[in-house]
Structure 1
Amino acid sequence: MNNNLIQAFQTNWISLVISLVVIGFLYFLGKKRVSFGYRVLIGLGIGLVVGIFLNAFKLDAKSVSTIGSIYVNLIKMMVIPLVVVLVINSIAGISNLGQLRKIGIKTISLFLATTGVAALIGLLVALAFNPGSGIAQSVPQNFKPKEIPTFSQVILDLVPANPINEMATGKVVPVLIFAIFIAVAIVHIGSKKPEVVQPVKQLIESLASVLHQVIKYVIRLTPYGVYALIAAMAARYGVETLKPLIMLIIATYTALLLHFVITFGGLVTFVARVNPLKFLRKAYPTIAVAFTTRSSYATLPVNLEVLTKRMRVSPRIASFVAPLGATINMNGCGGVWPAMVAIFVAGVYNIQLGVSDYILIVLVSMISSVGVAGVPGPAAISTTVVLTALGLPLEGLGLTLAIDAIVDMGRTAVNATGTTVSTLIVADSEGEFDRASFDRDEEDELELNPA
């Protein structure tokens, strides 16, 4: 036992020393004014190499994982304060509640439409790849089907009963609704007695400025966090674990990439009318953080900075659409993945599906993506809903457990990018997108180089 502890301690020190060297190198690049995007990309590449090395030599990656967890926790600490302060600040600046309703309808319509297209793309790619063929019908022993919440339970979970408790437990949807109530009350009172709510509005504006500064501090750590998260992921999953499901991984990432290029690229180019390559360059921090943290909520602070500072979207629109998108916009988790798993499970169990089943997959994916808002593990819940609607064995979902973390990186990146695209389109339609600033050649680095 003591020998095992000593060996674990020694291998953990090896990974820690490697990580300190990498962190020092990334910091050096920052001091040399290497751009933030390049440093994130370099951190991702080095993390992949280090993770494969640790896995190959069976070295403990706990220290690397701890560094990544620290980064994720720092981002998560900003989510609830941001939702409360920025949502109130954005809505309080709207004098016409009818305009708020119009923005809300546009936003949710975009989320539903893009999720439906994502499900269709996932369906078509799955049919083309047939990822379930040749896989034995074995289910991991630790598989437990997700329980589908009832409609009444979903509604109750969305309504804030105790805002302080909801904040403490990280329930974003009830907190979002609470913030909207406060903001609407400020607008209503302000239309009659503006002097009464002026101190509150000034306080919220000050808090928003302070939070933006804190976000900048945290975002500067992104290259280090990306390195640690990718290294820990690569160290945990070996090639042998992935071999039986490699076709499902390839099919999923193919569908996600097609949705990214065709749907998002088309919307950015023809609806928002901006250069898609420039959009991609400016959105890169959001994509990288979403890919490595696998959390739309954790990506929210970064996305808000990207939208306002790099995309030049007004804070009012960004602060309303982005938190909503982090909650219900699930192009990857609620669109591509459920459709992909449905075809995969049908193939594994040799169950024939017809055109009506394919239509049902797309429709149920759209509805369930909104219906599971705020529920932990939305990808598993949405997939369970789709499988149940089709009458497919829920045990088939257990076959995907080994690769869930791998594909979740791509799913979350698509989710977050979808929110960025939708926010840009809504802002453009409302005349709150500074196109001239966006089109400038110089890159806004968000003050992300270390001082």
Structure 2
Amino acid sequence: MLSALRRVPFAVQVLLALVLGIALGIVARQMGGTTDDPNWLAVTLDTIGSTFVTLLRTIVPPLIILAVISSIASLRNVSNAARLAGQTLLWFAITALVAVAIGIGLGLFIRPGLNSGVDPSTAADPSTHGSWLAFLESLVPTNFLGLTASTSADDAGVLSTSLSFNALQLIVIAIAIGVAAVKVGKSAEPFLAFTQSALDIVLKVLWWVIRLAPLGTVGLLGNAVYSYGWTTIGALGKFTLAIYIGLALVLFVVYPVLARAHGLSVVKYFSGVWPAVQLGFVSRSSMGTMPVTQRVAESNFGVPRHYASFAVPFGATTKMDGCAAIYPAIAAIFVAQFFGVDLGITDYLLIVFVSVIGSAATAGTTGATVMLTLTLSTVGLPLEGVGLLLAVDPILDMGRTATNVAGQALIPAVVAKREGILDEERYNEPRGLGGFVAPEFRSAAELAADADRDASAAEDDSAGRKPASVTAP
């Protein structure tokens, strides 16, 4: 049976997993159970899904550190490294500006906060808030590994401590180490060689985890259907509709137009970004999806590794058109309409400012709620309005995250194309619906061509020549 499963294309496995996950989630709902006492099928789905996400998140810290250090080492011979970083930030801001404009337009047109039927008693101030100070503080690593610890007590009073990592701090640490290694010079060569070797090992482990994506998809989507279903939309139907229309406009209109404007095939974009989009949708985690997003940018879109290993991790912490543009814009308008607060042109400009600049203030945190509180506090709207929207947040988070990762993969490809370093042959290579263009799935002829290109690049480096493909046209 395993041999037969291996013959099924990876993309088909994922699609089948999506269907199976929805079906099992519906079955689990029919079996009954509560949040405190779920049935055995619900527990099994939750365990499978959470285990897969845990595996992805486990590999993120070493991937960020090793990839960023290696990318800085690779960029030392690239004359336009600063320009690459600047172009990345610029296009992050441009797409965020378009997304928040769409969000404001939909909020004013659909008017989700009027006659919503939401129970005012559900209004509650959230436990976490976004702030500009928190963003500035998050830039300073608290320890070498960027780890934070939190202690909580269960109903029986038993204390447990959990560790988490701050992705932005990891990037800062890795940039410092990478720059220092480059400045040290020849004596740092063994360290850089070790870093590259370790990165190759981590990427191999990552591929083993990615191969589990169909199984993880069954668990994640099945548990989402069981836990939330679609009945929780209730009185927030107009709000949910506005959010998903906005996300659809960004994902299916803005991004394709941006790709086409830069001479990139829209069909290849959607087929290439599918692995990251589907995983982002079911996992609801840009950071958990980040390894897959980076693999999409490199293997499917042809973005050079030295650039993708910087742009994708950075985008996973700050490039959130779903969570930081569409959602806070419509949600802020909903809260204003619900509480009868009239917004002026200055308020809308503040919403735009926070969405374009402020998404970095959520780096290293759980994004959308923190971003919403930052927006509401900046505009002067009651933070208690956040509690009104919590009932549908898990359902919205699936679409938000899928949109986030689609943009996080596209912008590096756009910038690479503008700078003349995109491997367009790789971008346009044939692939199945949503399949990866990667060594595990490519022909011997394609592997030989890649080996020739790598050998040629190595000869250029050893001779002290800069490859022509990395210079701006």
Partner of 2:450: none
Instruction: For 1:38 and 1:143, locate their aligned partners in 2 and report how far apart those are by CA, in whole Å.
Output: 43
Q: 1:183 aligns with which of 178, 181, 189?
A: 178
**Structure 1 pair 226/29, CA: closer, same or farther in 2 (3 Å)?**
farther
After TM superposition, the structure 1 stretch with the greater mean CA deviation from structure 2, 273-282 or 57-66, is: 57-66
Could you tell which deviates more after superposition, 54-63 or 198-207?
Answer: 54-63
1:446 equivalenced with 2:421 (yes/no)? no
The structure 1 residue matched to 2:334, chosen from 325, 339, 344, is 344
SS class of match (1:163): coil
Question: Aligned pair 1:65/2:65, yes or no?
Answer: no
Change (3 A) 1:410 1:106: same
Match of 1:18 in 2: none
Matched, 1:44 2:18: yes
Q: Which of 101, 105, 108 lines up with 1:120 in the alignment?
A: 101
Question: What residue in structure 1 maps to residue 400 of structure 2?
Answer: 411
* C-alpha distance after superposition, 1:57-93 (max 9, x if no partner): 3152111100001100111111000000010001111
Supply the distance in 2 between the matched residues of 1:29 and 1:41 (Cα, whole angstroms). Answer: 17
Distance, in Å, in 1 between the alignment partners of 2:390 and 2:4 is: 37
User: Would the alpha carbon gap of residues 156 and 442 (structure 1) be closer, same or farther in structure 2, given more than 3 Å must change?
Assistant: closer
Separation in 1, partners of 2:136, 2:296: 32
Aligned residue in 2 for 1:174: 169
Q: CA deviation at 1:30?
A: 3.2
Q: Residue type of the partner of 1:171?
A: N
Distance in 1 of aligned mates of 2:440 and 2:238: 38
> Percent same amino acid at aligned positions?
32
- The equivalent of 2:287 in structure 1 is 297
Which of 351, 360, 374 matches 1:370? 360
| 1:81 maps onto 2:81 in alignment | no
Q: Which amino acid aligns with 1:82?
A: L
Q: 1:141 to 1:252 in 2, by over 3 A?
A: closer
CA distances 1:84-110 after superposition (whole Å, capped 9, x unpaired): 001000111122586332222111121
- Which stretch has the larger CA shift, 246-255 or 140-149? 140-149
Give the C-alpha shift of residue 154 in structure 1.
Answer: 2.5
2:401 paired with 1:427: no
Mapped to 2, the partners of 1:239 and 1:217 lie a distance apart of: 33
TM-score by length of 2: 0.83
Per-residue deviation at 1:406? Answer: 0.5
Alpha carbons of structure 1 residues 97 and 155: separation in structure 2 relative to 1, 3 Å: farther
Distance 1:180 1:105, change over 3 A: same
**Is 1:320 equivalent to 2:320 in the alignment?**
no
Higher helix share: 1
Tell me the equivalent position of 2:156. Answer: none
- Give the secondary-structure state (helix, strand or coil) at the position aligned to 1:144: coil
Structure 2 distance, partners of 1:447, 1:58, is 45
SS at match of 2:119: coil
Offset of residue 175 of structure 1: 1.1
SS of the equivalent of 2:141 reads coil
Alignment check: 8 A CA contact 1:36 1:445 kept:
no
Aligned to 2:80: 99
Distance 1:264 1:146, change over 3 A: farther
Q: Distance in 2 between matches of 1:388 and 1:254?
A: 26
Q: Deviations over 1:17-53 (max 9, x none)?
A: xxxxxxx8xx67732x232222212211221122122
Q: Partner amino acid for 1:434?
A: D
Correspondences of 1:221-240 after superposition (within 5 Å)? 221-240=212-231
Of 231, 234, 241, 1:250 maps to 241
3-state SS in 1 of match to 2:165: coil
Do the aligned partners of residues 128 and 319 (structure 1) sit closer, same or farther apart at CA in structure 2, a change above 3 Å counting? same
SS of equivalent to 1:115: helix
Partners of 2:96 and 2:129 in 1: CA distance: 20
Contact 2:302 2:426 in 1 (8 A): yes
RMSD over aligned Cα atoms: 2.1
Q: Report what 1:54 is aligned to.
A: 28
Say which is worse superposed, 377-386 or 317-326, in terms of deviation. 377-386
- Which amino acid in structure 2 is aligned with residue 242 of structure 1? I
* Distance of 2:12 and 2:97 partners within structure 1: 33
Structure 2 counterpart SS, 1:169 = strand
- Quote the Cα distance in structure 1 between the aligned partners of 2:79 and 2:135: 27
Decide whether the 8 Å contact of 2:129 with 2:369 is kept in 1.
no
Which digits, 9 at most, give the CA deviation of each residue in 1:424-450, with x for residues without a partner? 01222232211022223345453668x
User: In structure 2, how many angstroms separate the alpha carbons of the residues matched to 1:148 and 1:98?
Assistant: 41
Secondary structure, in 3 states, of the residue corresponding to 1:93? helix
- Residues 71/86 of structure 1: CA separation in 2 closer, same or farther (3 Å cut): same
Where does structure 1 lack aligned partners over 5 or more consecutive residues? 1-23
> Across the two proteins, how many residue pairs are aligned to each other?
417
Q: Distance in 1 between matches of 2:343 and 2:112?
A: 15
* Deviation (angstroms), 1:131: 1.6
What TM-score results when the alignment is normalised by the length of structure 1?
Answer: 0.87
1:147 to 1:421, Cα distance in 2 relative to 1, 3 A: same
Amino acid at match of 2:399: G
Residues 142 and 58 (structure 1 numbering): CA distance in 2 closer, same or farther, change over 3 Å? farther
Following the alignment from structure 1 to structure 2, what is the Cα–Cα distance between the partners of residues 345 and 240? 22
Cα distance in 2 for residues equivalent to 1:111 and 1:410: 19
Q: Does 1:30 align with 2:11?
A: no
